[in-house]
Amino acid sequence: MDRLVSAFQFERLLSSDSQLKTIALLGTIDGRAAILQLEKSHFDTASLPRLPVQEIREIASNDVYHWAMTTLQQSADRDPAAKLNLIYPASETHIRKYEKPVLHIVRETPELYRSVVLPYIETMRGDVIKWVRNILYEGAEADRVVVKNDDFVLLPDMKWDGTTLESLYLCCIVYRDDIASIRDLNETHIPYLERIAGTLRTEIPRRYSIAGDQLRIFVHYQPSYYHFHLHVVNTAYHGLGESILAGRAILLEEVIDTLRFLGPEGYQRRTLTYAINESHKLWELGLNRSAT
């Protein structure tokens, strides 16, 4: 990875978020597109009472209040300054995902799903999500697996540093290939989803110092990739930006309860209202005509 990062040639800024302390850059490595994302790390509380402050430049002071800029003592092993994510080679879909979003609220009717969304989903399966099959069937990332059973594989999300419990973020990828998104769910899936929810709330606390009711389990619509998966985060973690907001995230328990009323057709009979980035391919394919 060192060679790839050192070979990164910057082209343009995709996004910058001052609240989440993240930046996403588009560039090339060996002539192919690459996305480099940097996220400032959480403070190392284990090293207290040693203060990590190094240099101080005062900005102003007023009575008991003082402001300054500072640099911190850092160590890549013990107290890293930032977490780095690299996507290479990056597809146009990746670039669209990390570009600063211009969001619109759309209403996806069952008819619009069948005529526009479903044909698009079919193009985003197969080799496009080969990395998912690598995790499920080829042993990829086996050293990172938290839970593996007949229903799913659970492993840390790439957004999590793997150690800071406050920002715990896990991804649960199911083995079933017949569920691309919540649109494929119906009342017959209720016991299946309840079993997954129960396992997650039981097994994760056995591995991390967190209670089952401190886990936020949710799905995205539209999802980032079309193989059914769930996101599991610490309920105390608020640094998720748009991905945790209404119009994108749907709690698993809400999905289960909704299925009880939708009957055999399930989510394919619902009109779904959600936010979509205008750089998303679906916006161009026809969802722009359904904006509220």
54/57 Cα distance (integer angstroms): 10
Most distant pair of Cα atoms in the chain: their distance: 67
Please tell me whether residue 48 adopts helix, strand or coil conformation. coil
Is 66 in the active site?
A: no
292/282 Cα distance (integer angstroms): 16
106/104 Cα distance (integer angstroms): 6
66/74 Cα distance (integer angstroms): 24
Going 20 to 221 to 91 to 168, the CA torsion angle's sign is positive
101 is in an annotated binding site: no
Amino acid at 100: K
159 is in an annotated binding site: yes
230 is in an annotated binding site: yes
Enter the tokens of residue 118. Answer: 């479903």
229 is in an annotated binding site: yes
222 is in an annotated binding site: yes
Among all chains, which residue has been given the structure tokens 């996806």?
108
Enter the tokens of residue 240. Answer: 């998720």
Contact between residue 229 and residue 173 where contact means Cβ atoms under 8 Å apart: yes
75 is in an annotated binding site: no
| Closest to 97 in 3D by CA, of 248, 215, 290, 235 | 248
- Catalytic choice (42, 94, 104, 229): 229
157 is in an annotated binding site: yes
97 is in an annotated binding site: no
Annotated binding site for substrate: 131, 141, 157, 159, 220-231
Active site residues: 229
